[in-house]
Structure formats: structure tokens, C-alpha cells
């Protein structure tokens, strides 16, 4: 491979956008997973409270 072809290969930017978009999607996906995982325990707690109150309301009606 001669020097001009090597320089041309190094300066070629075809496909660069795909790599950048892929990295951005990976970053967004990782952030979403982190946020949903950290909120999971909070959401579970909320649903447990709702379930407890609905059960006690049902028991008081019966």
C-alpha cells in the first residue's frame, strides 16, 4: 500500500455517522436502563402500598 492510499484511507469519513449514532444509542439505552432500575424499587413500593390499602378497604367492606 503506498503512502497516498494510506492517507486517503485515514482521511476517509464514510461510515463515521453510523458509529456516532450507535454510540449515542448505546449511551441513551444505558441511561434508560439505569434510571428504570433505580426507579424499580420505588415503583414496587408504591404498588405494594396501593395493594395493601385496597386489601384493607376490601376487608372493611366485607
pLDDT at 61: 86
pLDDT at 20: 87
pTM here is 0.51
DSSP string, 19-56: HHHHHHHHHHHHHHHHHHHHHHHHHHHHHHHHHHHHHH
Winning range, highest mean pLDDT, from 24-28, 42-46, 57-61: 24-28
Find the mean pLDDT for residues 12-28.
Answer: 85
DSSP-derived 3-state class of residue 11? helix
Amino acid at each position: 500500500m503506498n503512502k497516498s492510499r494510506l492517507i486517503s484511507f485515514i482521511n476517509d469519513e464514510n461510515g463515521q455517522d453510523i458509529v456516532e449514532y450507535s454510540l449515542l444509542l448505546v449511551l441513551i439505552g444505558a441511561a434508560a436502563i439505569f434510571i428504570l432500575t433505580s426507579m424499580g424499587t420505588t415503583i414496587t413500593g408504591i404498588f405494594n402500598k396501593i395493594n395493601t390499602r385496597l386489601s384493607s378497604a376490601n376487608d372493611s367492606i366485607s
